[in-house]
Structure 1
Amino acid sequence: MKNLKRRWQLGKVRPGDGSALPDYRLWQLFSRSVLFLDLVTPSGETHVYAVDVRHMVDAKTRKQHEDAVGKSPAALYRDGVQIHRSNLPTSFPVPGGVIEVATSAFGLKRIHFVAEDGTERALRPHDRSQEGLRARFDRRFPRTSAVVGAVTLLILLAALVVNVMNGIEALTRAPAIAEYVGRFVSPVDLPTWGTVAGVLSAVERATRLRFNRLIDTVSS
């Protein structure tokens, strides 16, 4: 299944237009992610690959977005020159493996180099991006960073429990089900501030490339 998925994603990749990697601007903090990968070729040459991800471009507007500004949701650059572009999720071919890129509603959920032997490593974020700022915060204040990470995880787990209970309540409203198992009433309703906290927690985890399909999707 992984091989089929990768072939499908590789089939979406198109040639780049040869343009230069645009500079990262401060106002792009929540709309753009740029991450880098240094690779050494068998001949000993070192190339810097960069993946430029444009957020806030949904499936319905991607074609118009490309036609209007000449950009795809994701593009691969080698030494600052665009060589590939693609819709998301995608897998960009690079020497010795692929770069897998996927996003969620809250930001990046995966951007890793997967070598031919199966080993993986995350790409290095641009210093000015939200991923780069979060990584810098982690390096400067590791203990505080760990506490923040633990708190966001606890918030999402609590939101997950509440959402599951609300789902059971909605399910048992059906007469056919309530007749056999009774009507379940959730003792807790997720307040507005709880929803906001869940979204912010999911965004924080996305800046650290932490994504769990159950926790980060169902609970937010």
Structure 2
Amino acid sequence: MIKEWRHRRALQRVMPGDGRELKRFRWWQSTFRALFHLRLTGHDGRTTVYAVDVRHWQNQSSGNVKAHLYLDGRLHAESKLPAVFPVPGGTVDVRMSGFGLKRCHYVTDAGDEFQLVPDPDSAEGRRARLDRAHPALSRTISLLSLCVLVAALAVLVPQLAEQLTKPEEIAQRIGTFTSPIDVPKWGYFAIGVATLAASTERALRLRHSRLLDGAAG
């Protein structure tokens, strides 16, 4: 029920585009722009090309990030994130995390889901190209990112539990907890940098976990 309500609400946020032309992806936009493409073939055999353009670090703190949907190179519609754009045969679902996009999928009316293809010049496109050209290296990087986030969670959860049980009124009721891991100040900085890198790498593959990436954010 809640999922359906959110879906309808997202559809209501969609506004018509002004027809402006889609600008090509520039290398220096890799840190703040995501661009994905979708080709759909109609029953008449005609192919239409959709593109989802998100400047995902633009006004992110204020919640004003928008997704722009282009049709054959012209702005067709736009919406605040999370966005659901109606397209022939289904919808395009766009969502983001604190590190980039976590979802950019074509969802058919039958419920099948397909991730859109990242622009080859984007950071997501370069990561996908690495996966195709060097699959073993790609899997190693993916595993390393996962291990970093699991390790960070294993370190930070006991630290958080220790801080939460320090107040006297809480300690008197449930006792105090002392973390078995003593983290120096520089250690928190190193953990923060490592988790940022790991979650960003996962965002380039549109991988997201509420427990791991959500905690890191």
Q: TM-score, normalised by structure 2?
A: 0.92
Q: How many residues align?
A: 211
- 8 Å contact 1:163–1:218 — kept in the other structure? no
1:39 aligned partner: 40
**In structure 2, do the counterparts of structure 1 residues 143 and 105 end up closer, same or farther at CA, with 3 Å as the change threshold?**
same
1:68 aligned partner: none
Whether 2:91 is the aligned partner of 1:98: answer yes
Please give the alpha-carbon distance, in whole angstroms, between the structure 1 residues aligned to 2:173 and 2:7.
45
1:152 to 145, 148, 153: 145
Q: Deviations over 1:184-210 (max 9, x none)?
A: 122333531121000000000000010
Please give the alpha-carbon distance, in whole angstroms, between the structure 2 residues aligned to 1:199 and 1:186.
23
Whether 2:188 is the aligned partner of 1:195: answer no
1:54 aligned partner: 55
2:24 aligned partner: 23
Q: Please list every run of 5 or more consecutive structure 2 residues that lacks an aligned counterpart in the other structure.
A: none
Query: What is the letter of the counterpart of residue 145 of structure 1?
Result: S
What SS does the aligned partner of 1:112 have?
A: strand
User: Considering only aligned residues, what root-mean-square deviation do their CA atoms show, in Å?
Assistant: 1.4
Query: What is the letter of the counterpart of residue 11 of structure 1?
Result: Q
CA drift of 1:181 comes to 2.8
Please give the alpha-carbon distance, in whole angstroms, between the structure 1 residues aligned to 2:179 and 2:36.
43
Map 1:112-131 → 2, pairs under 5 A: 112-131=105-124
Whether 2:209 is the aligned partner of 1:212: answer yes
CA drift of 1:61 comes to 7.5
2:68 aligned partner: 75
What SS does the aligned partner of 1:211 have?
A: coil
- 8 Å contact 1:51–1:74 — kept in the other structure? yes
CA drift of 1:59 comes to 5.4
Please give the alpha-carbon distance, in whole angstroms, between the structure 2 residues aligned to 1:219 and 1:33.
21
CA drift of 1:129 comes to 0.3
Query: What is the letter of the counterpart of residue 127 of structure 2?
Result: R
2:136 aligned partner: 143
What percentage of aligned pairs have identical amino acids? 42
Please give the alpha-carbon distance, in whole angstroms, between the structure 1 residues aligned to 2:7 and 2:103.
14
CA drift of 1:176 comes to 2.6
CA drift of 1:183 comes to 1.3
Q: TM-score, normalised by structure 1?
A: 0.91
Query: What is the letter of the counterpart of residue 96 of structure 1?
Result: G
Greater shift, 47-56 or 185-194, is seen at 185-194
What SS does the aligned partner of 1:191 have?
A: helix
1:183 aligned partner: 176
What SS does the aligned partner of 2:120 have?
A: coil
What SS does the aligned partner of 1:173 have?
A: coil
**In structure 2, do the counterparts of structure 1 residues 61 and 208 end up closer, same or farther at CA, with 3 Å as the change threshold?**
closer
Please give the alpha-carbon distance, in whole angstroms, between the structure 2 residues aligned to 1:59 and 1:9.
20
